[in-house]
Protein backbone atom coordinates (compact mmCIF):
# COMPACT_ATOMS: atom_id res chain seq x y z
CA UNK A 1 0.00 0.00 0.00
CA UNK A 2 1.50 3.31 -1.12
CA UNK A 3 0.81 6.32 1.06
CA UNK A 4 0.71 9.93 -0.10
CA UNK A 5 1.22 12.63 2.52
CA UNK A 6 0.45 16.29 1.79
CA UNK A 7 1.18 18.91 4.46
CA UNK A 8 4.49 18.65 6.28
CA UNK A 9 4.15 21.44 8.81
CA UNK A 10 4.61 21.44 12.57
CA UNK A 11 2.35 18.39 12.90
CA UNK A 12 2.52 16.73 9.51
CA UNK A 13 6.27 16.33 9.28
CA UNK A 14 6.68 14.19 12.43
CA UNK A 15 3.55 12.22 11.53
CA UNK A 16 4.94 11.39 8.10
CA UNK A 17 8.27 10.56 9.68
CA UNK A 18 6.64 7.82 11.76
CA UNK A 19 5.10 6.29 8.64
CA UNK A 20 8.48 6.25 6.92
CA UNK A 21 10.23 4.80 9.96
CA UNK A 22 7.60 2.07 10.21
CA UNK A 23 8.26 0.95 6.65
CA UNK A 24 5.34 2.47 4.75
CA UNK A 25 6.15 3.60 1.21
CA UNK A 26 5.37 7.27 1.75
CA UNK A 27 5.19 9.83 -1.07
CA UNK A 28 5.60 13.42 0.07
CA UNK A 29 4.47 16.84 -1.11
CA UNK A 30 4.64 20.23 0.55
CA UNK A 31 5.37 23.79 -0.48
CA UNK A 32 8.23 23.69 2.04
CA UNK A 33 10.96 21.92 0.08
CA UNK A 34 13.21 21.67 3.14
CA UNK A 35 10.65 19.48 4.93
CA UNK A 36 10.21 17.27 1.86
CA UNK A 37 13.96 16.91 1.38
CA UNK A 38 14.49 16.04 5.06
CA UNK A 39 11.97 13.20 4.92
CA UNK A 40 13.19 12.10 1.50
CA UNK A 41 16.62 11.52 3.03
CA UNK A 42 15.00 9.34 5.71
CA UNK A 43 13.47 7.03 3.12
CA UNK A 44 10.37 8.85 1.93
CA UNK A 45 9.74 9.63 -1.72
CA UNK A 46 9.88 13.28 -2.80
CA UNK A 47 7.15 14.40 -5.19
CA UNK A 48 7.15 17.65 -7.14
CA UNK A 49 3.44 17.77 -7.93
CA UNK A 50 0.05 16.51 -6.81
CA UNK A 51 -0.03 14.50 -10.04
CA UNK A 52 3.14 12.60 -9.24
CA UNK A 53 1.92 11.80 -5.73
CA UNK A 54 -1.68 10.95 -6.60
CA UNK A 55 -0.90 8.57 -9.46
CA UNK A 56 1.07 6.18 -7.23
CA UNK A 57 -0.88 6.44 -3.94
CA UNK A 58 -3.57 4.10 -2.64
CA UNK A 59 -4.22 6.26 0.43
CA UNK A 60 -3.57 10.02 0.55
CA UNK A 61 -3.27 11.82 3.88
CA UNK A 62 -3.82 15.57 4.09
CA UNK A 63 -2.66 17.55 7.12
CA UNK A 64 -3.41 21.16 6.24
CA UNK A 65 -4.21 24.44 8.03
CA UNK A 66 -7.89 24.82 7.09
CA UNK A 67 -10.76 23.50 4.97
CA UNK A 68 -10.01 25.93 2.13
CA UNK A 69 -6.54 24.41 1.78
CA UNK A 70 -7.95 20.88 1.76
CA UNK A 71 -10.41 21.87 -0.96
CA UNK A 72 -7.69 23.50 -3.04
CA UNK A 73 -5.34 20.51 -2.78
CA UNK A 74 -8.06 18.03 -3.69
CA UNK A 75 -10.30 19.83 -6.14
CA UNK A 76 -8.30 22.54 -7.91
CA UNK A 77 -7.79 22.19 -11.67
CA UNK A 78 -4.46 20.48 -11.06
CA UNK A 79 -5.41 18.87 -7.75
CA UNK A 80 -5.27 15.37 -6.35
CA UNK A 81 -8.69 14.23 -7.54
CA UNK A 82 -7.80 14.83 -11.18
CA UNK A 83 -5.01 12.25 -11.01
CA UNK A 84 -5.88 9.83 -8.21
CA UNK A 85 -6.97 6.26 -8.93
CA UNK A 86 -10.58 5.11 -8.41
CA UNK A 87 -11.22 3.83 -4.87
CA UNK A 88 -8.43 6.00 -3.44
CA UNK A 89 -9.05 6.76 0.23
CA UNK A 90 -8.38 10.35 1.29
CA UNK A 91 -7.60 10.61 5.00
CA UNK A 92 -8.04 14.23 6.03
CA UNK A 93 -6.32 14.75 9.37
CA UNK A 94 -6.78 18.52 9.30
CA UNK A 95 -9.03 20.28 11.81
CA UNK A 96 -12.15 21.26 9.89
CA UNK A 97 -15.87 21.39 10.59
CA UNK A 98 -18.08 18.30 10.23
CA UNK A 99 -19.96 20.13 7.50
CA UNK A 100 -16.69 20.60 5.59
CA UNK A 101 -15.92 16.90 5.93
CA UNK A 102 -19.33 15.85 4.64
CA UNK A 103 -19.04 18.20 1.65
CA UNK A 104 -15.57 16.85 0.88
CA UNK A 105 -16.83 13.27 1.15
CA UNK A 106 -19.75 13.93 -1.20
CA UNK A 107 -17.43 15.46 -3.80
CA UNK A 108 -14.98 12.57 -3.52
CA UNK A 109 -17.77 10.02 -3.87
CA UNK A 110 -18.75 11.67 -7.17
CA UNK A 111 -15.23 10.82 -8.33
CA UNK A 112 -15.29 7.22 -7.00
CA UNK A 113 -13.09 8.08 -4.04
CA UNK A 114 -13.71 8.00 -0.31
CA UNK A 115 -13.02 10.10 2.77
CA UNK A 116 -11.99 9.23 6.29
CA UNK A 117 -11.96 12.37 8.42
CA UNK A 118 -9.40 11.80 11.18
CA UNK A 119 -8.31 14.91 13.05
CA UNK A 120 -5.82 14.60 15.88
CA UNK A 121 -5.17 15.94 19.36
CA UNK A 122 -1.95 16.19 21.30
CA UNK A 123 -0.02 18.94 19.56
CA UNK A 124 3.53 18.81 18.32
CA UNK A 125 4.95 16.86 21.31
CA UNK A 126 2.58 13.94 20.75
CA UNK A 127 3.09 14.10 16.99
CA UNK A 128 6.83 13.75 17.59
CA UNK A 129 6.41 10.85 20.04
CA UNK A 130 3.79 9.09 17.90
CA UNK A 131 1.19 9.24 20.65
CA UNK A 132 -1.50 11.40 19.07
CA UNK A 133 -5.16 10.88 19.84
CA UNK A 134 -6.91 10.16 16.54
CA UNK A 135 -10.68 10.43 16.16
CA UNK A 136 -11.90 9.02 12.85
CA UNK A 137 -15.13 9.22 10.90
CA UNK A 138 -15.97 7.20 7.82
CA UNK A 139 -17.00 3.80 6.52
CA UNK A 140 -15.87 1.05 8.88
CA UNK A 141 -14.11 -0.93 6.14
CA UNK A 142 -12.18 2.15 5.06
CA UNK A 143 -11.28 2.83 8.69
CA UNK A 144 -9.96 -0.70 9.16
CA UNK A 145 -7.87 -0.39 6.02
CA UNK A 146 -6.10 2.76 7.22
CA UNK A 147 -5.93 1.77 10.90
CA UNK A 148 -2.28 0.57 10.62
CA UNK A 149 -1.36 4.09 9.52
CA UNK A 150 -3.11 5.57 12.54
CA UNK A 151 -1.33 3.09 14.80
CA UNK A 152 1.99 4.34 13.42
CA UNK A 153 1.17 7.95 14.28
CA UNK A 154 -1.05 7.70 17.33
CA UNK A 155 -1.96 5.96 20.55
CA UNK A 156 -5.63 6.55 21.42
CA UNK A 157 -7.47 5.77 18.18
CA UNK A 158 -11.26 5.60 18.01
CA UNK A 159 -13.67 5.10 15.11
CA UNK A 160 -16.41 7.58 15.96
CA UNK A 161 -18.94 6.71 13.24
CA UNK A 162 -19.77 7.97 9.74
CA UNK A 163 -18.01 10.77 7.90
CA UNK A 164 -18.10 14.01 9.89
CA UNK A 165 -18.11 12.45 13.34
CA UNK A 166 -14.32 12.56 13.55
CA UNK A 167 -14.34 16.29 12.88
CA UNK A 168 -17.21 16.84 15.31
CA UNK A 169 -15.26 14.97 18.00
CA UNK A 170 -12.20 17.15 17.39
CA UNK A 171 -14.30 20.30 17.79
CA UNK A 172 -15.71 18.90 21.02
CA UNK A 173 -12.15 18.32 22.17
CA UNK A 174 -11.26 21.90 21.29
CA UNK A 175 -14.15 23.28 23.33
CA UNK A 176 -12.69 21.54 26.36
CA UNK A 177 -9.05 22.44 25.65
CA UNK A 178 -9.78 26.10 25.00
CA UNK A 179 -12.06 26.63 27.99
CA UNK A 180 -9.63 24.75 30.26
CA UNK A 181 -6.78 26.98 29.07
CA UNK A 182 -8.84 30.08 29.82
CA UNK A 183 -9.82 28.81 33.28
CA UNK A 184 -6.23 27.84 34.08
CA UNK A 185 -4.97 31.24 32.94
CA UNK A 186 -7.53 33.13 35.00
CA UNK A 187 -6.78 30.99 38.06
CA UNK A 188 -3.00 31.44 37.77
CA UNK A 189 -3.26 35.23 37.55
CA UNK A 190 -5.51 35.24 40.62
CA UNK A 191 -3.16 32.95 42.54
CA UNK A 192 -0.02 34.82 41.55
CA UNK A 193 -1.42 38.24 42.46
CA UNK A 194 -2.57 36.74 45.77
CA UNK A 195 1.07 35.92 46.53
CA UNK A 196 0.88 32.17 45.98
CA UNK A 197 3.95 30.32 44.71
CA UNK A 198 2.70 28.71 41.51
CA UNK A 199 4.93 25.66 41.68
CA UNK A 200 3.57 24.90 45.16
CA UNK A 201 0.07 25.59 43.85
CA UNK A 202 0.58 22.87 41.27
CA UNK A 203 1.74 20.44 43.96
CA UNK A 204 -1.31 21.25 46.04
CA UNK A 205 -4.07 20.90 43.46
CA UNK A 206 -2.99 18.91 40.41
CA UNK A 207 -4.00 15.57 41.90
CA UNK A 208 -7.49 16.73 42.87
CA UNK A 209 -10.66 17.55 40.97
CA UNK A 210 -9.11 20.72 39.53
CA UNK A 211 -6.34 18.74 37.85
CA UNK A 212 -6.51 18.13 34.11
CA UNK A 213 -4.38 17.15 31.14
CA UNK A 214 -4.27 20.83 30.22
CA UNK A 215 -2.80 21.63 33.63
CA UNK A 216 -0.26 18.82 33.34
CA UNK A 217 0.95 19.89 29.90
CA UNK A 218 0.68 23.66 30.13
CA UNK A 219 1.03 24.93 33.69
CA UNK A 220 4.81 24.47 33.83
CA UNK A 221 5.40 26.19 30.50
CA UNK A 222 3.13 29.09 31.53
CA UNK A 223 5.05 29.52 34.79
CA UNK A 224 8.32 29.51 32.82
CA UNK A 225 6.83 31.93 30.25
CA UNK A 226 7.72 29.49 27.47
CA UNK A 227 5.30 30.08 24.64
CA UNK A 228 7.03 28.31 21.78
CA UNK A 229 4.11 26.89 19.83
CA UNK A 230 2.93 23.34 20.30
CA UNK A 231 -0.51 24.53 19.24
CA UNK A 232 -0.71 28.06 17.82
CA UNK A 233 -3.23 30.68 18.93
CA UNK A 234 -4.33 31.23 15.32
CA UNK A 235 -4.99 27.48 14.91
CA UNK A 236 -7.07 27.36 18.07
CA UNK A 237 -9.02 30.42 16.93
CA UNK A 238 -9.73 28.73 13.59
CA UNK A 239 -11.08 25.71 15.46
CA UNK A 240 -13.21 27.93 17.68
CA UNK A 241 -14.62 29.65 14.60
CA UNK A 242 -15.50 26.24 13.13
CA UNK A 243 -17.13 25.30 16.44
CA UNK A 244 -19.23 28.45 16.41
CA UNK A 245 -20.35 27.90 12.82
CA UNK A 246 -21.17 24.24 13.39
CA UNK A 247 -23.03 24.96 16.62
CA UNK A 248 -25.10 27.64 14.92
CA UNK A 249 -26.04 25.21 12.16
CA UNK A 250 -27.43 22.65 14.62
CA UNK A 251 -28.88 25.12 17.12
CA UNK A 252 -26.53 24.69 20.09
CA UNK A 253 -25.77 27.83 22.12
CA UNK A 254 -22.15 27.98 23.34
CA UNK A 255 -21.93 31.01 25.63
CA UNK A 256 -18.70 30.01 27.41
CA UNK A 257 -16.92 28.85 24.26
CA UNK A 258 -17.84 32.00 22.36
CA UNK A 259 -16.49 34.15 25.18
CA UNK A 260 -13.22 32.23 25.09
CA UNK A 261 -13.13 32.65 21.31
CA UNK A 262 -13.07 36.42 21.80
CA UNK A 263 -10.07 36.07 24.15
CA UNK A 264 -8.20 34.25 21.38
CA UNK A 265 -9.33 36.95 18.94
CA UNK A 266 -7.88 39.62 21.24
CA UNK A 267 -4.52 37.88 21.35
CA UNK A 268 -4.44 37.69 17.55
CA UNK A 269 -5.27 41.38 17.32
CA UNK A 270 -2.32 42.08 19.61
CA UNK A 271 0.16 40.27 17.39
CA UNK A 272 0.35 36.94 19.21
CA UNK A 273 -1.16 34.59 16.62
CA UNK A 274 2.00 32.48 16.26
CA UNK A 275 2.51 31.89 19.98
CA UNK A 276 1.38 28.80 21.85
CA UNK A 277 -2.30 28.80 22.73
CA UNK A 278 -1.38 28.95 26.43
CA UNK A 279 -0.27 32.54 25.76
CA UNK A 280 -3.89 33.62 26.23
CA UNK A 281 -2.81 34.11 29.85
CA UNK A 282 -1.53 37.44 28.51
CA UNK A 283 -5.17 38.55 28.19
CA UNK A 284 -5.82 37.93 31.89
CA UNK A 285 -2.46 39.41 32.96
CA UNK A 286 -3.26 42.59 31.05
CA UNK A 287 -6.69 42.92 32.66
CA UNK A 288 -5.23 42.37 36.15
CA UNK A 289 -2.10 44.47 35.49
CA UNK A 290 -0.04 41.62 36.86
CA UNK A 291 2.53 39.26 35.33
CA UNK A 292 2.62 35.74 36.77
CA UNK A 293 5.92 34.48 38.16
CA UNK A 294 7.29 31.47 40.04
CA UNK A 295 7.53 33.39 43.29
Query: Rounded to 5 degrees, what are φ and ψ at 62?
Result: -115, 135
Give dist(CA 112, CA 100) in Å, integer.
18
Give dist(CA 162, CA 80) in Å, integer.
23
Alpha carbon 104 to its chain centroid, in Å, reads: 18
- For residues 261 and 237, the answer to whether their CB atoms sit within 8 Å is yes
- For residues 14 and 124, the answer to whether their CB atoms sit within 8 Å is yes
170 is annotated as an active-site residue:
yes
Pick the catalytic residue from 17, 170, 218, 261: 170
Q: What is the largest CA-CA distance in the chain?
A: 64
Q: Which residues are catalytic?
A: 170
Amino acid sequence: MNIGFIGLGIMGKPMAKHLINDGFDTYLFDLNNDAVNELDELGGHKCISYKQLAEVSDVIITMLPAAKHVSQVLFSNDGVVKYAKPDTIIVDMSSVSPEDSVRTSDSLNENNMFLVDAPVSGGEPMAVSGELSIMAGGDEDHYKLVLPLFESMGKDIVHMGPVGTGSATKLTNQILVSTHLAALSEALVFASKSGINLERLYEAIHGGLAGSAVMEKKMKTIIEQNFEPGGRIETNFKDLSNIQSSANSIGVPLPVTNMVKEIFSSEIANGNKDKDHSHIINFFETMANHKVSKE
